[in-house]
Amino acid sequence: MNRYAVRIGSVLALALSVGLGLSAVANAAENAPYAYDGKRVVFETLLHTIGGPAVSADDPGLRQLVRNAGGSVTWDADNQYVLVTFPGPTVISFAIGDAHYLIGSVSHPAAFAPFVRDGHAFVPLNDVLRALRLPAFSPDPAGGAPATSAPVPVPVSTADVAPAPTPPPFATPMPSPQPDQLAQVTGVDVQAQPGSVTIRVGIAGNGAYEWHRLRAPDNRWWIDVHTAHLATAAIDQNGGALVSSVRVRQQPADTVRIALSMPASEQVDVSPGNDGITIVVSSQIVEAAVRGSGTFGSIVTANASPLASPGASPAARYVPMNPHLIVIDPGHGGSDPGAVRGGLLEKSLTLDIAKRVRDILAARGWQVVMTRTDDRDVFAANDSAHDELQARDDVANSRGARLLVSIHVNSYVNSGPHGVATYYYKAGDLTLAQSVSRRIASELGINNNGVIKDKLYVVNHALMPAALVETAYISNPDDFALLQSGSWRQKIAQAIADGIVDYTESN
Amino acid sequence: MRNSRIFFLLALLIAVAAIAWYISSHRASPGQVTIYYSKVDAQSEIPWTISSRAQQPGESAAAYAQYLALYAASQAVTGPPADVTAIRFPAGTRVLSASVDGTTATVDLSLEVNHPGGGALNESGEFKALIWTLTALPGIDRVAVRVAGSKVATLNGGSFELDEPLRRSDW
């Protein structure tokens, strides 16, 4: 009896869902005025969905609103995403079918997944407004916009949309870029080596870029350089065996697109620099995300000089070249097993946990690079501790990563000590370590030894905020049992990833 | 004749007493040094005091400072009595030499300190105790560590950095 009831309930729920889903896109578009800060725009393509108001990326009212804030809107039908770009540089990115959107590289829940109707991409209007620090759209006259006469099947209020995200990046509207403020893409240099291709894109000026990888079996990549002008004629080059073609074109909305076509599914590493972007295509590169973004140009402050004594001055502030890149360092590896007990090797445990952290962060839209992805020394087998540890720092330092987290397993001469500890050294590391430690304390039922200042090489020589997590004591029987559990390793990976994201949202 | 003997013995007694007084008045009194050890949380340093010899007559200040550094470092590496729970250097670790140059003490440890498999807790606690101990000596504010005569970046276990002199503010 109960079984039939469940089935009937399921059918009814399905029918209701389908009905609501259809209603989400079946309503006729309407003109809807929206007033804010003494300005007024009219959305001409507004739809009411069960998740809230949707507006086309091509809507004149939306484009005017974004333009008033100094930005532009791009709908890329080929790649199925919508970008709202500001010269800050900051990019708001919506992907069709994805119920999350990115501000920079930070993922936020969207009111609903953007969808395509009649060739036009519709995005959650209130998420765009929230990112711009504008009041939510409401058909209620008290909500900031005059009422319309069109019927509204599902009332929309701010309570219907996604939970409030972290404070948006824009405190005040930014001015529109002037032509002489556009970055100039000056050329492309393609160098093919055995097993890899390096493509250097020369760019004069500062700006932001966004990259996107089409899912297999399509092996194309796009790197869009925003608020940029192509200073040369369109470029078509052959990149050798790994890259069939490199094409550079000026796109509308002050965007220059670098398109790579590859005969096979290769991995691509996009690194910003002071004079442009370097793209390396190699099957050896680990890049889990399918899209990401970054900034280029002379945006690294003098205080972030590699020669500066790390931690010497609390006032020194590191500005990452790629604020969307996180580097995860699995401790030990290759010829260095780390701590060992009962056949369990520290180097294997750290690699396993690090991969889990990487996957969690990549799923949330971050670019993640690991210092190693298999059982190897990062510098060379049987190398010195200095060379090995510096090589790990170099992975993060050379890429201008936002932060580095090293993962280890602790050990002691007896079985007494147990639990997790998060280490920091430089003044800029403390907040990161605290964020990670807080998550460990709240998400894991394990003794948390808190944050500890310690002069650990890999933390000290990272130019960016860094922390080292000693996940548990392999020398303690209870911790040893936890380390053997895949589900526990997933839990601590989740806590570390959550702590990293917490940090990025407030720093 | 008899009076002169008594006088001579009395004079001899006075001379012996004077010499004894002179020697005793110039003998150094025993000194004290403070040794630290780390509790197993590596967050707490516990001091205890032991006696040491004082500067000897004719001993230069530099030589005495070197003696104190070697003595204090050796005590810190040996650690507290066995019944005290503390983070300890790996068994067999010895202080091969210690010297003082200006405000920097340099301590050379034997290879046993590079015990594989040690973690951050071990290394942090070991060196914290050593640096706390040596910087408690007059005029010393940092400590350079060598292993078997060589400068090393880190040990094998916890990657605690040793290639630059350590100060208390490093913790």
Question: What per-residue confidence (pLDDT) applies to B118?
Answer: 67
**In sequence order, what are the residues at sequence separation of 6 or more whose Cβ sits closer than 8 angstroms to the Cβ of residue A293?**
A91, A93, A102, A104, A105, A208, A209, A210, A211, A324
**Which of A392, A406, A411 best tests the B interface by mutation, with the highest count of B CBs <10 A?**
A411
Contact B40 A416 (CB under 8 A): yes
Q: A320 is written with which tokens? A: 């990452």
The single residue listed with the structure tokens 């950095």 is B161
Residue A44 in this model has a pLDDT that exceeds 60: yes
Cα separation, A439 vs A436, whole angstroms: 5
- Diameter of chain B measured on Cα atoms: 85
Nearest CA in chain B to A468: B120
pLDDT at A148: 34
Distance from CA of B168 to the nearest CA of A (A): 11
Task: Verify whether the Cβ–Cβ distance A421 to B166 is below 8 Å.
Answer: no
Mean pLDDT of A133-144: 65
- Residue A504 in this model has a pLDDT that exceeds 90: yes
Q: Are B161 and B154 in contact (CB under 8 A)?
A: yes
Where residue A72 falls among pLDDT bands split at 50, 70, 90?
Answer: confident
- Chain A: closest CA distance from residue B82 (Å): 14
pLDDT of the residue at A346: 92
DSSP, collapsed to helix, strand or coil, labels residue A378 as coil
Q: Which chain A residues have a beta carbon less than 8 Å from that of B117? A: 338-340, 411
For the ranges A11-15, A75-79, B109-113, the lowest mean pLDDT is seen at: A11-15
The whole-angstrom separation of Cα A61 and Cα A38 is 15
Q: Cα separation of A7 and A2, whole Å?
A: 9
pLDDT bin (cut points 50, 70, 90) of residue A181 is low
Structure letter (DSSP) for residue A182? S
- Of A81-95, A487-501, B58-72, the range with the lowest mean pLDDT is A81-95
- pLDDT given at position A157: 29
B171 close contact with A: CB closer than 8 A: yes
The per-residue pLDDT for B21 is 65
pLDDT value at B113 more than 60:
yes
Query: Residue A61's pLDDT is what?
Result: 92
CA-closest candidate to residue A247, choices A184, A194, A190: A190
User: Residue A294 has what pLDDT?
Assistant: 65
Q: pLDDT class for A156, splitting at 50, 70, 90?
A: very low
Q: Which residue has the higher pLDDT, B109 or A196?
A: B109
User: At residue B60, what are phi and psi to the nearest 5 degrees?
Assistant: -70, 160
Nearest to B160 by CA among A456, A141, A230, A447: A456
Output the six-digit token pair for A185: 């893409």
Tell me what the mean pLDDT of segment A269-297 comes to.
Answer: 66
Helix axes A346-363, A486-506, angle to 10 degrees: 50
Dig out the tokens for A139 from the structure. Answer: 């058909």
Structure tokens at A161: 């949309």
Query: Quick check: A47 pLDDT over 80?
Result: yes
The verdict on a CB contact (< 8 Å) between A389 and B154 is: yes
- Each residue of A203-247: pLDDT tens digit? 877 667 777 766 545 567 788 887 788 888 888 887 777 788 888
Give the model's pLDDT for residue B158. Answer: 66
Q: What share of chain A is helix, strand, coil (3-state, %, to 5)?
A: 25, 35, 40
Yes or no: say if A64 and A79 are a contact pair by the CB < 8 Å rule.
no
Q: Which of B43, B121, B168 to mutate to test the interface with A (most CBs of A within 10 A)?
A: B121
| The token pair that represents A30 in the structure block | 């309407």
The pLDDT of residue A413 is 78
Shortest Cα–Cα distance, B48 to chain A (Å):
23
Cβ-defined contact of B121 to A470 (cutoff 8 Å)? yes
> What value, to the nearest 5°, has the Cα angle with vertex B14 and ends B11 and B17?
150
pLDDT-derived band at A6, boundaries 50, 70, 90: very low
Q: What does the pLDDT look like over A369-378, one tens digit per residue?
A: 999 999 999 9
Tell the burial category of B64 from Cβ atoms under 10 Å away from its Cβ (0-12, 13-18, 19+).
Answer: middle
- ipTM of the prediction: 0.76
Question: Contact B118/A460, CB-based, under 8 Å?
Answer: no
Does B119 reach chain A within 8 Å, measured CB to CB? yes
The secondary structure element, H or E, covering residue B62 is helix B61-78
> What mean pLDDT comes out for the span B68-97?
90
Q: What is the mean pLDDT of chain A?
A: 76
* pLDDT computed for residue A440 by the predictor: 92
Q: Please indicate if any CB of chain B lies within 8 Å of the CB of A413.
A: yes
Q: What is the DSSP letter of B102?
A: T
